[in-house]
Structure 1
């Protein structure tokens, strides 16, 4: 007989609650036991874990005997949550536990739901076109299980504490939440839902958010990161990568502390970087750029129709090339060998900060239709501490 495991659920998807209470921090329900043999079990009398305000009932549960290094394939119109097996209870990591829950008063028909394991493919498939969209499917899988998940309609997906080689998630209008996920290759695509990364997400990361979808990130760490949005906000607190490319058609790009070789592009939106350590290239057609440079590689900033604000530490060594309709260098910034050239369409200022000698360390800022402002700012000021 299998040992008990704790229940867990989705929780509320409102971003304000996600930030305030840490998302989907659901209370565990009473332990459940499964019959031996890896078969299925009809629900007992135990209460299920439910999102706030919704009473959910367990409709059916499965315990499948699997290879620890397999794959989960899910095609569902409802909510799906995946987390790892308890390693103390399942030391061999050879089970996939599946539970289906429905809202009280919701449809209870599971005739169209398939839950099966293909031993040859080493694949668990959970497939349905007809399950109630308000239902939820909860999966406990081996830690190293690959994931291939597609949700339709407003079905949301949450992945928590999984480590795998490949993780692919696609939603239509549903939110994707990744919490403390590690994957060699992580691909997320949504046509209209939110993408929320909590804790640290590791790996080579590819995120595409269409329409008004927003992307909100605590911390990404990996070799390559590629994130694109259309009309929604793209926001990240920490990026630790070798190479990152972030783009948005009309939404703003707002970043905290970024490290590595970073390229940012926006057509209509503003670009803000609280702290850059490394090489940074940022461009926008109609938005403004606001960047604090703490440690310098190469920095190249361009706003075709907006203005640029560059903030640096007073000890930074750099070659400067600042051009725009107006260029304003604060008197607190000590620039040596400064030259100022006025033209009909603006002004160009060049110079050195703190006797910079390494030619690969430079800052270029160009705002042909706007103003370039260059300011000194301490690291402490860059923290933007709030009461």
Structure 2
């Protein structure tokens, strides 16, 4: 059994430093017990640590505060999708971070996407050979592990190539390439990267597959965070009379969304029994609370009143408030430009992006039905598959821009 002694010793210091907080001990305890089951002794001393934060004279107190908020969310009654995934602890691209250039934002997304999936690959490789790897319950079969690793590698490779971290040669076996990816990315990690990976993995249970579940959802959030920024740039381009630039940006965003669909086959390797074992303890944390997805949706087309009053938007009040205070969508920008229709090249890009969104929604629904069944509640006891069934038909843009349909992603 783990003991909160390291945190108590940190608290006993006359002037404890946020830099020296015992993150390792805390994360080890949470991964050993699961956040839902972590002993009261741990949450008690972590609450005491949070109480000391105003007394600390350090520039990175905010980072420690964010970690403690995620660690204590169940105790505080603030547990939700963001705290479950540790999103405040990740350097997501988008409006919440220093903007930088479009290329810098894209590189930030690629880097985070790559290191999240590489961490998953490293975890699966460790677990296959070391019984002391965290989350020991319900390990997958060797065949399933091999399949999962193949899909994880496939999902990571486009970003790894763009970052010039790994090249895939035809002569490389999967085992060789997996080891090369882990070694190369691990050497490239900054201390900040290592810490973010460590503290953003606070599963609720000790079921093996929850590690994969969390990393895949974090990767999806990373992409939607970038797409939110991309759509803001598209709207600005329309408002400033640059339809060709808007079309180019939107087409690139559609390509990235299609590329991220490679995460679905990876997520489909989750064992249904394993998912049901830990989802019981995720009540209150549902993907319906995804802030970045709702920003993307609302930047395409201002949602109808019924949609704004649905759980999708009531669960992200800050996004809903921005919409109700006049957030401009792409449709709004086109109307303001007094265009009866977008230029042909922009209309084509809108159809391409809408098709990618519809494909994403449909694949999400099909996977949820496979795991949950057609009428079951979702993660956190939300409306689940019935909600996804209805939401997949929600128009992406105004009806005057009908989307082209694309083949569904196989999962």
- TM-score above 0.5, yes or no: no
Larger relative strand fraction: 1
TM-score range normalised by the length of the shorter chain = under 0.3
Which gives a bigger RCO, structure 1 or 2 (Cα 8 Å, sep 6+)? 2
TM-score normalised by structure 1 residue count: 0.24
Which structure has the larger Rg over C-alpha atoms? 1
Larger relative helix fraction: 2
